[in-house]
Chains A and B, each alone.
Chain A
Amino acid sequence: MNKEQYRHVSKSRLRIEAHEKVSGRATYAFDMEMPGMLYAKCLHSPHAHAEIVAIDTSAAKALPGVKAVLTGEDIPYLVGLYMVDKRILARGKVRYQGEAVVAVAAVDEETAERALTLIRVEYKLLPSVSTIDEALAGKILVHEDINELEYIQGVFFPQPDSNIASWNKTSKGNMNQGFAEAELIVENVLTLPAVAHVPLETHVAIAQADPCSKQVKIWAATQSPFGVRKLLAKALGISTGDIQVIAPYVGGGFGGKAGIHLEPLATVLSRVCKGRPVKITATREEEFNQLPCRAGMRGRVKTGVKKDGKITAVEIYYDWDSGAYADYGVNVGKAATYSGAGPYEVPNLELHSRTLYTNKVFSTAYRGFGHLETHWIIERQMDLVAEKLGMDPYDFRMKNILRNGSLTISGERIHENSGRPDQCLDAVAKEIGWAGYQSAEERQTAFKTGKVRGKGLACLQKAPAMPPHTSTTAIMQMDDDGNVRLMIGVVDMGQGANTIMAQIAAEVLDMPIEKVKVVWETDTDRHPYDWSTVASKYTFMGGNAVKRCAQNMVQQMKETAAQVLRCATEDLAHNNEYIYHVQHTHRRIAYKALALGYAYENGNGIGGPLVARGTYMADGLTFLDPVTGQGLPALDWTFGAHGAEIEVDVETGDVTVLKIASAFDVGQVINKRLIEGQIMGGVLQGIGSALVEGYKFGADGRLLNPSFTDNKIPTAKDIPRDLVPILIENPQLDGPFGARGIGEHPMISVPSVIGNALYDALGINFFDLPLSPEKVALAIVREKAQA
């Protein structure tokens, strides 16, 4: 079927759940109330690192209305995604300021709050690990029991008696020989701070856990109901079958709701409270300071090049300031090992990615899964090397960019259907009118006007970071009026998965999209399995499963219709809600006549209700070699590029993004409006990371800005004056209709492109995010003083 014949694919169908959201009827976990529900609150550690000497909860327990007061001593369970390193409440010692130490469940929030004030905790301060260098020195250990922690062996590599939660490596070619062949070697160190996800709905969990059985029921603001179920079962030593997790509407995730967070605490509290439902709603301060963030990172990169611009060798150390617990942090570190050199062919490389424990709020997955961070290092380095070479950074990138036949750093062969980063770069360069950096004279002339402009380019790539054997499935049933109900395990938190899946189902079934009802409120007891709503993989994987599911339904209809029409199924086709004979098209049966089985006029029936299924399992992917990091981890690469033009106020240091053009090779557009929504949202989130956002810690490890007053995100006044999404379509042959993922990609490399444009504007290189007005203004002053 060629594109012009698509009925729904490539069309900008409206978001199917939008009506509920604009009417205020959409119910989030935040809104949910249950009969007999109790409310829980947590007392947090005021110290970054301290021994818990004593906790006196007697006065809190005596307060009328208090139903439970729990400390770490009451809860024997350890929880963890990859490193099983975290207590549900701190036990023995606290590892970051903000860590939950005591939890209270009471009849209302007021009583729970009041009870917290009655709790006395005695701490003995310990020296803390607050920097990457202190973490690497290992004189103080965040986890003194690191040698005993359970972890996934062969995938993660905790180092004994250290703060290194995992040290993952890639080795390709011969790095030393590559540097020996180089005619120029450029080495730089760049950094970026921890950043908050800022979903507008904070984390919420409600649990109902029967103390007399193993049954647990949870409603949560989560991206991963099946993940929560599995991890909770492991932590509590019960079966996944004992646990039901329901994800109602989720008010934003961005990776922050991908792991397991407040659910175990709500569960143990409910058990102690005789099975009454217990709700925990994170305050905004807790969202910043108790719940995880995106890790800070320092990257040291050394690049060897020939004078013609060909890269001969690269050495990289990524050190992740990942906070007190490993959570997704170790897997973010691992993703860097196969994607951390950018979309370029690097013949000889050694890459070290070390996820470090520090006494700070811990890190987890965040939209981009480490790629915004690694691309801040790599895409600035591409410009820094080009500058030293005296080469246009566009030409330098084009010289090394992945092309048909290139090998990625983990040894995957890129081919003609892998997508085209070069076309993305070309498109954005044209869109912003890239003509190389301006000269020093041009800059000086502009400087006198008080406002200077600059342009920049940056590329990006990302593949889903997921186990190589990840799978998903879809179930579809038809009702008597010919509507289909589609059951999928994804959580649509705004990315549009439900709409995309409805389009794919309606396309295959050749019916109006209004007749496809996607059943949401993902429920692990009712919906078919999906690993987790992460990694920008659902359009690809879920799309394939839904496509196969719809094909299966068509096949079932044909089999029954073949009996009724007395022909072979091979002679039947489907169109516009009818199964018909390809030659004698008047011999046809409406879908709805087959929905519950076909009924003959005399009362006989055949077929039975239509229930279809489709599955998709990633194929051909492998674990990475534990020593060399070589292997096939990528389901699909989505390549992209940004081009930006900015304006800098030389007095205030304010950076205004005048224009940003963002191109992605999405393979095949399923829904243009939804893709552009991801691009507009992602680019602005990237601008937040570039210009304003970032955690600030005091010398004592205390988070200084755990509120919107001091830790802002971009507002409507901060949007680029012009944002041009460019969609390139080189189909992925095993993607649904050729499509690739796009959810996370738009924010990757946005800081890099702005950093590169800042160099063009000012002739000053910036190495540390965010590019805040004070940082830019001070750099201008310093530059003037030197000149």
Chain B
Amino acid sequence: MCEKHSAAEKCFSYTDSGLPRVQLICVVNDEPVIARIDPTMTLLTFLRKELSLFGTKEGCGEGECGACTIIMNGDAINSCIVLALEAQGAVITTVEGLSREGKLSILQQEFINHDALQCGFCTPGMLMSARALLNRNPNPDEEAIKEAIAGNFCRCTGYTPIISAISSAAKLEREERQQ
């Protein structure tokens, strides 16, 4: 914890504690990762600074906006308020892990087709919340989609195109599985 945390002032950016390094083993986007890290490091900092996965964004550092959403062991989580060490042994997917074999995933393609993004800064987190939803519920109704992305702020799109994109991706993914 930084000195500012002990003072009255708030501070939400990660600072190195100087504590002895701890080994972290996990799987990120299908690749095994072994690292020695500061035990107070957040998972978001680990992904961005240690693994150089800059696709995952930070919008507030307080777990409110969802820009840092990733999937850990199947759940969409705010990586800015999770310690990297909590990912010990975990399977993690970030936006960089969505496309396969040189091809965008159906979900990504539907975000393009429905213009479900404008500035694009919330998009990685939004995609991961949507991915986690479709993994656990391949046929979500509109309310379930809204619920799944309610923790992801978007200031540009008004959400409607995002909801359409997720709904359409769900349908296309179901069709693909049936084939």
Contact = CB atoms under 8 A, between A and B. Distances in A.
Nearest to B120: A21
A713 interface: yes
Contacts of A716: 145-146, 149-150, 152, 154, 159, 162-163
Contacts of B94: 24
B4 interface: yes
Given A494-B118, A677-B157, A717-B150, A113 B11 contact: yes
B89 interface: no
B74 interface: no
Contacts of B160: 680, 719, 723
Contacts of B127: 22
A715 B58 CA distance: 17
A556 B39 CA distance: 64
Among B56, B123, B145, max chain A CB count under 10 A is at B123
Given A199-B119, A496-B118, A677-B118, A707 B62 contact: yes
A103 interface: no
B119 A200 contact: yes
Among the interface residues A715, A717, A723, which one has the most CB atoms of the partner chain B within 10 A? A715
B26 interface: no
Interface in A671-701: 673-674, 677, 679-685
Nearest to B65: A708
Tell me the dominant secondary structure on chain B's binding face: loop
A17 B123 CA distance: 13
A30 B10 CA distance: 21
Contact of A713 (B3, B10, B151, B155): B155
Contact of B108 (A23, A108, A251): A23
A284 B61 contact: yes
A28 B4 contact: no
B88 interface: no
B111 A199 contact: no
Contacts of A685: 155, 158
B83 to A, nearest CB: 16
Contacts of A713: 153, 155
A252 interface: yes
B159 A719 contact: yes
Contacts of B120: 17-18, 20-22, 26, 249, 251, 494
A685 B56 CA distance: 24
Interface string A237-264: 0000000000001111110000000000
Interface in A9-33: 14-15, 17-28, 30-31
Contacts of A249: 119-120
A546 to B, nearest CB: 21
Given A15-B117, A19-B112, A199-B121, A708 B60 contact: yes
B111 A285 contact: no
A681 B155 CA distance: 7
B62 A709 contact: yes
A114 interface: yes
B117 A283 contact: no
Contacts of B146: 716-717, 719
Contacts of B65: 200, 284, 708
A80 B127 CA distance: 40
A729 interface: no
B163 A707 contact: no
A492 B60 CA distance: 23
A27 B54 contact: yes
Contacts of B113: 14
A683 B158 CA distance: 7
Given A22-B123, A717-B147, A719-B158, A114 B3 contact: yes
Contact of B112 (A14, A113, A200, A717): A14
Interface string B1-39: 011100100111111100000000000000000000000
Nearest to B110: A22
A17 B158 CA distance: 19
Contacts of A708: 60, 62, 64-65, 153
Interface in B66-108: 67, 94-96, 98-99, 104, 108
Interface in A195-254: 197-202, 249-254
Contacts of B104: 19, 22-23
A21 B123 contact: yes
Nearest to B143: A717
B158 A283 contact: no
B55 interface: yes
Given A284-B12, A681-B158, A200 B57 contact: yes
A232 to B, nearest CB: 24
Nearest to B149: A716
A285 B155 contact: no
Given A494-B117, A674-B115, A200 B158 contact: no
B92 to A, nearest CB: 14
Nearest to B105: A22
A33 B116 CA distance: 28
Given A494-B119, A707-B62, A713-B153, A23 B99 contact: yes
A94 to B, nearest CB: 16
Interface in A479-495: 493-495
A531 to B, nearest CB: 21
A181 to B, nearest CB: 44
Interface of A: 14-15, 17-28, 30-31, 108-110, 113-114, 116-117, 197-202, 249-254, 283-285, 493-496, 673-674, 677, 679-685, 707-709, 713, 715-717, 719, 723
Given A117-B2, A284-B59, A685-B158, 8 more contacts: A24-B96, A108-B16, A200-B57, A200-B59, A251-B120, A679-B158, A680-B158, A681-B157
Interface of B: 2-4, 7, 10-16, 53-62, 64-65, 67, 94-96, 98-99, 104, 108-109, 111-113, 115, 117-124, 127, 145-147, 149-163
10 contacts: A22-B95, A23-B95, A24-B94, A26-B120, A28-B57, A110-B2, A200-B119, A201-B119, A716-B145, A716-B146
- A-B pairs, top 6 by smallest CB distance, nearest first, are A24-B55, A494-B118, A251-B121, A21-B120, A494-B119, A680-B158
